Copies of this chain bind each other. A is one copy, B any other.
């Protein structure tokens, strides 16, 4: 059960001019479920992405990075993306790379472009070879049903153990131009059967120069998909792709100016929404936790402390129990690795409740107040360091019995 996350409504997911979506049931791991997704992009579209830093990055991640780099170096633009669930094609060596290339080649053949113009993505079990024959057999069906209004099906097609599809859509007006944005995401932690991957795809119909889009995707990812954590386990396949179809009237040529900033902020906002849907659907999650660390010297130290709190099993189990066991949060701050931190300058708030002041218990703090906040489904943890003006925010969920159950079950 996702935390305060209403099911997206298909009718609310606006088509984005310049991108068509098709899907198929290829029976990669299980029958009778959508497991292959194809996105076809109009001419003039630009694509940029961020990928997992895991050293065991999957074959499709390696191919997608190489194909995007080639475009930057003057190769023909990206015309399609292909996603499969049921198999991550990770830890699969040369055969895995060949299978990812073969998937791109088949999509290219069906769409009439070059294999290098296709970006492949996979999610599912690792250390097993991709069933390439099933994927190749399924692709014609996906290409045959390419339409602009398949976003809800796309959100369903990339689900693994997600309990619900994740999608969002917005229309913004920038400099008199209407820009339509629609995106999907998936991931619920790294879970049974092996590892669920965080995937995010966001398309909008403005025309954006490649270097500008490269900068924009990093900006948005740092403030959305790179600021969430469920269990701290980084997948081998994590990817977030930003697609500017160029089919609309807005054109952005430089990463500056009011129009760029308006687009940047709109993209970041919807990216954050897509990322937060993943946390709300985190495995076993019963609480949605926002952790903000303020008044730090650097962004890095604020993120260190926010993640130390977000990853502490003790803090996460206390949230699950609605137990205002707040020494655990202070202890996590203390071991976050900020060696010169002066804890006597530190305050801790739960929502509006001042729990700790100058590194000690706030004399006016009543446990009943902490209890009231801890019982909420959504909780804000705010730490002020009193040593600078940097800040960082991370979103996470609690650690419940269901987390252990989900991850301790045998792979099916």
B314 in contact with A313 (CB, 8 Å): no
Tell me, yes or no, whether A181 is within 8 Å of chain B by CB: no
A327 in contact with B91 (CB, 8 Å): yes
Residues of chain A from 370 to 412 with CB closer than 8 A to chain B in the complex: 399-401, 403-405, 407-411
Residues of chain A from 169 to 187 with CB closer than 8 A to chain B in the complex: none
Tell me, yes or no, whether A232 is within 8 Å of chain B by CB: yes
Tell me, yes or no, whether A358 is within 8 Å of chain B by CB: yes
| Cross-interface CB contact of A91 among B190, B234, B317, B330, cutoff 8 Å | B330
- Chain B residues contacting A231 (CB-CB under 8 Å) are 312-314
A54 in contact with B325 (CB, 8 Å): no
> CA separation between A170 and B311, bound complex, in Å?
39
A310 CB to closest chain B CB (Å) equals: 12
B236 in contact with A195 (CB, 8 Å): no
| Cross-interface CB contact of A405 among B318, B331, B359, B401, cutoff 8 Å | B401
Asked whether A331 and B235 contact (CB < 8 A) given A341-B55, A361-B127, A408-B317, the answer is yes
Q: Assembly of this chain: how many copies?
A: 2
B236 in contact with A91 (CB, 8 Å): no
A411 in contact with B335 (CB, 8 Å): no
Tell me, yes or no, whether A233 is within 8 Å of chain B by CB: yes
- Chain B residues contacting A92 (CB-CB under 8 Å) are 360-361
Interface string of A333-363 (1 = CB under 8 A from B): 1110011010110000000000010111100
A233 in contact with B332 (CB, 8 Å): yes
Tell me, yes or no, whether A321 is within 8 Å of chain B by CB: yes
